[in-house]
Amino acid sequence: MKAVLGKVLLGKAVLGKAVLDMGLALLLTGTLAWQAQAGEVKVLKVRLVQQSPGVYKATVTLKHSDQGWKHFANRWEILDLQGKVLATRVLRHPHAEQPFTRELANISIPDEVSQVRVRGHDLVHGYGEVEKIVDVPRSTSSSAPKVQTDKSL
């Protein structure tokens, strides 16, 4: 009788643990699905303005359905076409307005770089797949700033 009772109790304990594990798995799956709903960050538009020879200001528009402090677009970067990061604009909080635009000034871009790539990053997915390539505007005079907008990848 004790052996049968022991097996029944052990069975309930194993079943209880299985139910608990299943509930935890569903909770984690639901959390990951909720976080994934925001998707990857997309770079929608880029404007690059020459401030002075070799120095630029970038205006970048991103779209990302920020889900709160654990899943939001947290930065964008400007890279040369070989992948070297030239500048990073840190985004410190979720953005309710979508899409949103932010600027970064005083970006040094070497003379030999004729195009740059702009990519966005979010806390869950990392770098988004939708990036932009922009020609670097060059002016030999300091009088009129040169402006260049993006080309889609």
Q: For the chain, what are the domain ranges?
A: 1-36, 42-152
The rounded distance, in Å, linking the Cα atoms of 60 and 68 is 21
What is the H or E stretch that residue 31 is in? helix 2-36
Asked if residue 63 lies in contact with residue 42, where contact means CB atoms within 8 angstroms, the answer is yes
Confidence grade of residue 12 (pLDDT, cut at 50, 70, 90) = low
Give per-residue pLDDT as tens, 72-131: 888 999 999 999 999 999 998 988 888 999 999 999 999 999 999 999 999 899 999 889
Number of H helices, E strands in the chain: 1, 9
**Alpha carbon separation from 110 to 33, 40, 62 (Å, rounded):** 42, 30, 25
pLDDT of residue 24: 39
Which fold does the domain 42-152 belong to in CATH? Immunoglobulin-like (2.60.40)
Q: Has residue 15 got a pLDDT over 70?
A: no
Q: Does the pLDDT at position 31 exceed 80?
A: no
More confident residue, 125 or 32: 125
Question: 0.85 exceeded by the pTM?
Answer: no
Looking at residue 129, what DSSP letter applies? Answer: S
Tokens encoding 151: 């080309």
Q: How far apart are CA 71 and CA 122, in angstroms?
A: 7
Looking at residue 22, what is its pLDDT? 44
